[in-house]
A and B are shown apart, each in its own frame.
Chain A
Amino acid sequence: MAFKTIKRPKISIGERFYLKALLGGLVITMKHLVLSIIGKSRSKKELGGSGIGVTMQYPEYRWDKHLPEYYRGYPVLVKGEDGRERCVSCQLCEFICPARAITIKPGEVPADSQWNKVEKAPVEFEIDMLRCIYCGMCQEACPEQAIFMSQGYLLTPTDKKAGVHNKAKLYELGGTKQGLVNKWNAYK
């Protein structure tokens, strides 16, 4: 193997003692300090502050408006426009979930149901939000566009049980999703 000798760059005294970087940082700090003292701190409006200090006044003011479209809040289940619960309890999300947060009890759609062609639906669907790491793998794995990462992040369970979202709760949080999944209509 051939070796190549690299010349070390020359470092001046100022650089050696980080003078330039220190001063640069101090300038930024001072700028914010001055702006804060005169009540003109940055993002005063969006953060709902008095202009003194740069803290957001949560919970009166929230990030919600600023959330990017790809923000991953808690996972929810959705129904289609036609009112059909999209999940068919294929358990792919349960399998992919790295935190093992999802537990599904699969079951049969009753023969007299409008959607009996789907045959299968979850009897119970639980996501343990104390385990969930908001990775979004479930949404990615779902072949039925049934589970989505919502924009919601406000979860304050008061005990471990309340930290588990069951099927009813997941549909309540998820609501209806626009756009039809045509796979299960009578002609397909």
Chain B
Amino acid sequence: MSEETSKLPKDIAAAEGKVNVQINGTWYQFPRGMRIIDACKSVGVHVPTFCYHPKLAIAGSCRMCLVEQGMPPRLAPGQAPSYDAQGYQHIQWMPRPIIACANTVCENMGIKTNSPLAEEVRAGVLEFLLANHPLDCPICDQAGECKLQEFSNDYGKLKGRYTESKTKKGKNLSVGPNINLDQERCVLCGRCIRFMRDIAKDPVLSFSQRGTHNAVTIYPGRELDHPYSMNVVDLCPVGALTSKDFRFKMRVWFLKETKSIDVNCGTGTNITIWSREEQVYRLTPRQNDEVNSCWMPDEHRLNYRFINSPQRIPQPVIRTDINAPHRASTWEPSFSALAEAIKRVPADQIAIIASGRMTNEELYMTRLLAEQIGTKHVDIVSRVKESDGMLISADRNPNTTGAQVILGLENPGSQLEMIRDGVQRGKIKAILCLGEDLTSPEAGFKAQDFENLNYLFVMDHTASDTARAADLVLPGVSFAEKFGTMINVTGRIQRLNKAIEPIGYAKDDWTILQSITKALGSNSPAMNAVSSMDILSLIGQEYAALENINWGRVGDCGLQVLETGVTIPLIEQEKNPQG
């Protein structure tokens, strides 16, 4: 036997800074100092928890994660430890369970999550939690995604023995502009308190009273009005903190979840779109430790109503005579009318104003369109404001980086001034406006500027002043209705997924651009693309920065493709809490 194999497991593990732990009868190695709960999770052993959250400080208050634990017996003075055939010491099980979240693994430790003791203590903890619970699941918005419901089903006794009357606490209390509190439903896990204290840095929540009257309370005279306050709704494992916006809108079990990204700023927060029957009901953050951790700003979370708003443009609209009102049209005649109109204007008098809110695929089609027309006047509207020092990036366009790469813009937004000037001096006679309202303060056009134009084409999903002035409006779709990719401020390419079908007769923006370019006589390979995934593969062949990119490689959590040097403050803070 070589020296290597005669070593005990503990020495082999110790050499790598690891320890041996037995979980439910199987031996594993974990890094020294790992929490028992993380260790169990990493090998697929589920431990139920309420108060534990990987991004928050440990509280150990809910006791839900109790497990049975054992260690080798303590040796008498002079006694040598004995090892079994595999080289492990005998485990002596402790009579009392320990909580898995606040204890770390150590050498030769044993954990049982399915022993009679562990099962009994879990059922006991649940019985205590339910003793004063109002059991109003039929009216509770959390029903269906409630940890208390799930755990009592999986581990509880299903029958209460508590016959005394329950303690009364506050119900349906408004604690902030977006949040309602129900103290009776609360399991006192304190996740919300720790989030507000450690992450939002606005400690307005706390426990008050004692015993069964113990309840989460808001500081007198204050409101839970932090710009990130709605994350406590996601954190709350039960229905104690609920969203006013989502209140009684729809039961969660009807909603379809679609992984996507937030398009309100350059961070590209990973989100889940919750929809039912072509209607979006809510957005929630999705964990991505490189982009948004587990959080999302309220402002972006609540910005989804435009998707199903009556302001959406349902079908193509055309103006056939100057000053005539718009009338509804269909797709094919609109494309040929547009192609004719473009051909009538000399190429250098046409400007294309694209948008930093377009996906890479749409920007690529825009580039092809510009090349087909032969114009150099292509730019996007830039939106730079102030960053909030957490997740909202200074760049309020979600895909400025993409526009820089795909359209080859050095300085996005710098040509806009020139185009505006050209329009005013009559040098530019036609504008193709893609997904922007030119009368918005960022774009800076005036309504009378449009009078100088011979032709104004707008592709957008929602009615705007620019669309009202346009000769032809083709309805595109919002972020929830399309597939595509965007590159965030840090240079990470991420995917948008389609949650609902386009509203009315609207079409996916990239297909509109494809049809226009085709009508102008292009025969680029992109004219044969049938999905935005095809376009992404074409992009991967053409751009060095995005070499070999394709839909599968981007994945649900995105792929770092560029080094822009920009960072996301909240993520930096999470990575070096001291700095």
Binding site for B on A (CB under 8 A): 88-92, 94-95, 106-108, 117-120, 143-144, 187
User: Is B253 touching A106 in the complex (CB atoms < 8 A)?
Assistant: no
- Which residues from A are CB-within-8-Å of B311? none
B138 interface contact, C-beta 8 A:
yes
- Assembly CA distance A118 to B172 (angstroms): 10
- Which residues from B are CB-within-8-Å of A108? 247-248
- Which residues from B are CB-within-8-Å of A187? 165
> Which residues between 241 and 256 of chain B lie within 8 Å of chain A, taking CB atoms?
247-251, 253-254
User: Is A89 touching B254 in the complex (CB atoms < 8 A)?
Assistant: no
- Assembly CA distance A187 to B247 (angstroms): 24
- Which residues from A are CB-within-8-Å of B172? 119
User: Is A106 touching B248 in the complex (CB atoms < 8 A)?
Assistant: yes
Q: Which of A95, A107, A143 contacts B138 (CB 8 A)?
A: A143
Q: Which of B137, B247, B248 contacts A89 (CB 8 A)?
A: B248
Q: Which of B137, B139, B251 contacts A119 (CB 8 A)?
A: B139
Interface residue tally for chain B (C-beta within 8 Å): 14
Nearest CB of chain B from residue A140's CB, rounded to whole Å: 15
- Which residues from A are CB-within-8-Å of B253? 95
Nearest CB of chain B from residue A113's CB, rounded to whole Å: 13
User: Is A88 touching B138 in the complex (CB atoms < 8 A)?
Assistant: yes
User: Is A107 touching B248 in the complex (CB atoms < 8 A)?
Assistant: yes
User: Is B248 touching A91 in the complex (CB atoms < 8 A)?
Assistant: no
User: Is A90 touching B139 in the complex (CB atoms < 8 A)?
Assistant: yes
User: Is A118 touching B248 in the complex (CB atoms < 8 A)?
Assistant: no
- Assembly CA distance A23 to B177 (angstroms): 83
Chain A residue with the shortest CB-CB distance to B138? A90
- Assembly CA distance A102 to B165 (angstroms): 36
User: Is B251 touching A90 in the complex (CB atoms < 8 A)?
Assistant: yes
- Which residues from B are CB-within-8-Å of A107? 248
- Assembly CA distance A89 to B247 (angstroms): 12
Nearest CB of chain A from residue B152's CB, rounded to whole Å: 15
- Assembly CA distance A107 to B139 (angstroms): 10
Q: Mark B131-174, 1 if CB is under 8 A from A, else 0.
A: 00000011100010000000000000000000001000001100
- Which residues from A are CB-within-8-Å of B138? 88, 90, 92, 120, 143-144
Tally of contacts, chain A with chain B, CB under 8 A: 36
- Which residues from B are CB-within-8-Å of A88? 138-139
Q: List 19 A-B contacts (CB under 8 A).
A: A88-B139, A89-B248, A90-B138, A90-B139, A90-B251, A91-B250, A91-B254, A95-B253, A95-B254, A106-B251, A107-B248, A117-B171, A118-B139, A119-B139, A119-B248, A120-B138, A120-B139, A143-B138, A187-B165
Nearest CB of chain B from residue A135's CB, rounded to whole Å: 20
- Assembly CA distance A120 to B165 (angstroms): 23
**Most chain-A Cβ atoms within 10 A of its Cβ — which of B138, B143, B165?**
B138
Nearest CB of chain B from residue A115's CB, rounded to whole Å: 12
Nearest CB of chain B from residue A61's CB, rounded to whole Å: 42
- Which residues from A are CB-within-8-Å of B171? 117, 119
- Assembly CA distance A143 to B143 (angstroms): 13
- Which residues from A are CB-within-8-Å of B165? 187
Q: Which of A95, A117, A143, A144 contacts B251 (CB 8 A)?
A: A95
- Which residues from A are CB-within-8-Å of B139? 88, 90, 118-120
- Assembly CA distance A13 to B165 (angstroms): 78
Rank and list the top 7 A-B pairs by shortest CB-CB distance, nearest first: A90-B138, A120-B139, A106-B248, A91-B251, A88-B138, A143-B138, A88-B139
Nearest CB of chain B from residue A168's CB, rounded to whole Å: 20
User: Is B248 touching A120 in the complex (CB atoms < 8 A)?
Assistant: yes
**Most chain-B Cβ atoms within 10 A of its Cβ — which of A117, A119, A144?**
A119
- Which residues from A are CB-within-8-Å of B248? 89, 106-108, 119-120
- Which residues from B are CB-within-8-Å of A90? 137-139, 143, 251
- Assembly CA distance A107 to B248 (angstroms): 6
- Assembly CA distance A88 to B251 (angstroms): 12
- Which residues from B are CB-within-8-Å of A106? 248-251
- Which residues from B are CB-within-8-Å of A91? 250-251, 254
Nearest CB of chain B from residue A144's CB, rounded to whole Å: 6
- Assembly CA distance A139 to B30 (angstroms): 52
**Most chain-A Cβ atoms within 10 A of its Cβ — which of B137, B139, B249, B254?**
B139
- Assembly CA distance A118 to B138 (angstroms): 10
- Assembly CA distance A81 to B534 (angstroms): 64
Nearest CB of chain A from residue B173's CB, rounded to whole Å: 12
> Which residues between 215 and 268 of chain B lie within 8 Å of chain A, taking CB atoms?
247-251, 253-254
Nearest CB of chain A from residue B48's CB, rounded to whole Å: 24
- Assembly CA distance A108 to B171 (angstroms): 14
- Which residues from A are CB-within-8-Å of B250? 91, 106
**Most chain-B Cβ atoms within 10 A of its Cβ — which of A117, A120, A144?**
A120
Nearest CB of chain B from residue A101's CB, rounded to whole Å: 15
- Assembly CA distance A94 to B250 (angstroms): 11
Chain A residue with the shortest CB-CB distance to B165? A187
- Assembly CA distance A107 to B138 (angstroms): 13
- Assembly CA distance A164 to B250 (angstroms): 21
Chain B residue with the shortest CB-CB distance to A187? B165
- Assembly CA distance A90 to B149 (angstroms): 15
- Assembly CA distance A144 to B138 (angstroms): 8
**Most chain-A Cβ atoms within 10 A of its Cβ — which of B171, B248, B251?**
B248
Nearest CB of chain A from residue B178's CB, rounded to whole Å: 16
Known: A89-B248, A92-B138. 17 other contacts (CB 8 A): A90-B139, A91-B254, A94-B254, A95-B251, A106-B248, A106-B250, A107-B248, A108-B247, A117-B171, A118-B139, A119-B139, A119-B172, A120-B138, A120-B248, A143-B137, A144-B138, A187-B165
- Assembly CA distance A117 to B248 (angstroms): 15
Nearest CB of chain A from residue B169's CB, rounded to whole Å: 13
Nearest CB of chain B from residue A169's CB, rounded to whole Å: 23
- Assembly CA distance A120 to B180 (angstroms): 14
